[in-house]
């Protein structure tokens, strides 16, 4: 009898165990997007692959409380807590947006013990923007 060819989607071929803890990431990039309604913190490696993320909404804050500095601080703490366990020691911070949570998130990042190589503000600024709509005729 011929030997059965294992299918690629079978359970026997799947990788067992968690791969997330096996990776050691010494350096990364922390992206903070602070809007007036929410704060998003995403931690990537230097190549841009996402390692960890957290939002003020996933931390249990609902409605207008998502835009508060405390919610941003909690979101930043949750995202960084994961990568500190994976061995991250140095990071670059990219901050985007004008929300209330930008300073609070940065404070939480500084308190985490990660050495910050630089902090860059990447908030998009219009260079005279789009053309305004034509004047209304009444």
pLDDT tens, 51-77?
999 999 999 999 999 999 999 999 999
Q: Report yes or no: 86 and 23 within 8 Å, Cβ to Cβ.
A: yes
Q: Where do we find the tokens 């703490």?
A: 77
pLDDT value of position 126:
87
Q: What is the pTM of this model?
A: 0.77
Tokens read off for 29 = 């990039």
Q: Which residue has the higher pLDDT, 19 or 86?
A: 86
- Return the percentage of the chain with pLDDT > 70, whole number: 84
Please list, in sequence order, all residues whose beta carbon lies within 8 angstroms of the beta carbon of residue 116, skipping any fewer than 6 positions away: 90, 91, 92, 93, 109, 110
Average pLDDT of the segment spanning 89-110: 94
Choice between 9 and 50, residue whose per-residue pLDDT is larger: 50
Which pair of tokens denotes residue 85?
């366990």
Distance (Å, whole) CA 109 – CA 72: 11
Whole-number Å distance between alpha carbons of 118 and 125: 20
Q: What is the mean pLDDT of residues 103-127?
A: 93
Please tell me the predicted confidence (pLDDT) of residue 108: 95
Query: Using CA atoms, how far apart are residues 52 and 35, in angstroms rounded to an integer?
Result: 19
pLDDT of 2 above 70: no
Q: What mean pLDDT, rounded, does the chain reach?
A: 88
pLDDT of residue 129: 87
Residue 21, pLDDT above cutoff 60: no
Which pair of tokens denotes residue 48? 């841009």
Q: How far apart are CA 9 and CA 47, in angstroms?
A: 29
Task: Give the span between the Cα atoms of 32 and 94, in whole angstroms.
Answer: 6
């Amino acid at each position: 009898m011929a030997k059965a060819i294992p299918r690629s989607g079978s359970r026997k071929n799947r990788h067992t165990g968690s791969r997330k803890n096996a990776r050691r990431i010494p350096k990364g990039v922390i992206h903070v997007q602070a809007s007036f309604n929410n704060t998003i913190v995403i931690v990537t490696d230097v190549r841009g692959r996402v390692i960890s993320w957290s939002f003020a909404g996933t931390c249990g804050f609902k409605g207008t409380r998502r835009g508060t500095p405390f919610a941003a601080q909690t979101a930043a703490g949750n995202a960084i807590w994961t990568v500190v366990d994976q061995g991250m020691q140095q990071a670059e911070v990219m901050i985007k947006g004008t929300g209330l949570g930008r300073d609070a998130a940065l404070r939480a990042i500084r308190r985490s013990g990660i050495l910050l190589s630089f902090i860059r503000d990447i908030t998009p600024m219009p260079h005279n923007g789009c053309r305004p709509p034509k004047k209304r005729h009444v």
